[in-house]
Amino acid sequence: MIAGVGVDLCGIARMEKHAADERFLRRFFSEEERAYIAGKGASAAQSLAGIFAAKEALTKALGTGIVGSLADICVLHDDHGAPYYELRGDYLRLAGERGIVRVHLSISHDGGIAAAFAVVEKE
CATH for 55: 3.90.470.20
**Residue range 89-94: mean pLDDT, rounded:** 94
The answer to whether the CB of 70 falls within 8 A of the CB of 90 is no
CB atoms within 10 A of CB 91: 27
Q: What is the pLDDT of residue 20?
A: 86
> 30 phi and psi, to 5 degrees?
-70, 170
pLDDT mean over 83-103: 96
pLDDT of residue 68: 86
Boundaries of domain holding 62 = 2-122
Give the amino acid at 75: V
Count other Cβ atoms within 10 Å, centred on residue 96: 11
Dist. CA 115–CA 39, nearest whole Å:
21
pTM over the 0.85 mark: yes
For 8-37, what is the mean pLDDT? 94
Half-sphere exposure of 31 (CA within 13 A, CB side): 1
- pLDDT, tens only, 33-60: 999 999 999 899 999 999 999 999 999 9
The average pLDDT across 16-29 equals 92
Q: What is the pLDDT of residue 72?
A: 96
Name beta bridge partners: 108: 115
Say if CB 69 and CB 93 are below 8 A apart: no
For residue 64, the model assigns a pLDDT of: 87
Domain count, the chain: 1
